[in-house]
Amino acid sequence: MAAAAPAKSVPMTWAEGFAASFKAKLEAGDAAGVASLYADDAILSLDGANHAGKAAIGGHWASIMGGRGIILKVAQVSGIGADLTGGARVVAVCLTGEWAPAGAATAQRFASVFTLLPPAAAGAQPLVKNHIHRASTADSQAPNVPPSHAPIQDFVGKFIGAFDGAASGEARAAALGFAYADGVSMTFEQDEFAGKEAALRKLASLPAGKHKPCTVDVHPITASASVAFVTGQLVLEEHPMFYVQAIFLAATPAGSQAPYIIVGDMFQFNYA
């Protein structure tokens, strides 16, 4: 008898429900319904262009839809719950697949990450605080990073450099140990890993690879926490594969080894 599949975590189950709701509203051409998923102070980035606030976001979705639905073919969904500084907790959802905006001749490969903060009222629906959407491409594009968050882009660059520069899996885990919080939540594809030790063990098990980042977006989540979203290609054993990675960072106290620490990490290949 085949072993039973491991039970999905609450964030992963919730992510699948959110993805289904988002997809249904997009495909119905329901711009108001899509806008209802966002907080009043939400930030939406579509291919590097930022839209701030629920009203602006709703208007932008309406302009994209033009009264018609957007076909969304979701290939993979993952979700985590990450503890930020100051006691805040975020639920994050990452989607990859293909989408076809109204009037598009062909479907495009896409990747999206959403961060949702707990609602103010008990029993209310969590709302999207950040949404970053990219059409994956082999061509590098200008980073979408606020000037005040440039150090986060530098941190992500050092993180990628440490991964690529390690001579072995064990060396990779040792090189990346500085970056992860003890209680980090991580997904690799749809596999879930809880805690720093489990995350580093997974990273150590991976074959040698070289990242070729194409896009980098950084959004503030709270005053002391941010999300960095990277798309590009990861070359494994001479085979380039499209990937997306959402890294959730919390600021560390003065005098720490690094200015930020990773509290959540979501990695997916984009097979669409």
Q: Which domain holds residue 160?
A: 147-269
For the segment 164-186, the average pLDDT, to the nearest whole number, is 92
Give me the helices (H) in the chain, please.
Answer: 10-27, 31-35, 54-65, 150-165, 169-176, 196-205
Rounded Cα gap, residues 132 and 130, in angstroms: 7
pLDDT band at 136 (very low <50, low <70, confident <90, very high): low
- pLDDT tens digits for range 34-84: 999 999 999 999 999 999 999 999 999 999 998 899 999 999 999 988 887
If asked whether residues 198 and 242 sit together in one domain, one would say yes
Domain end (from 83, 101, 134): 134
In percent, how much of the chain has pLDDT > 90? 56
Specify whether the CB–CB gap between 95 and 272 falls below 8 A.
no
- pTM for the structure as a whole: 0.91
DSSP 202-235: HHHHSPPEEEEEEEEEEEEEETTEEEEEEEEEEE
Strands, sheet with 71-83, edge to edge from the N-terminal-most edge strand: 49-52, 38-46, 127-134, 108-117, 89-100, 71-83
User: Do 129 and 165 belong to one domain?
Assistant: no
CATH of the domain at 251: 3.10.450.50
Residue 220 lies in a domain: yes
15, 73 in Cβ contact below 8 A? no
- What is the number of domains present in the chain? 2
Confidence of residue 120 (pLDDT cuts 50, 70, 90): low
- Residue pair 82/263 in contact (Cβ under 8 Å)? The answer is yes
110 versus 1: the higher-pLDDT residue is 110
Residue pair 107/100 in contact (Cβ under 8 Å)? The answer is yes
Domain assignment present for 31: yes
Asked if residue 220 has pLDDT above 80, the reply is yes
**Rg of the chain taking only CA atoms, in angstroms:** 18
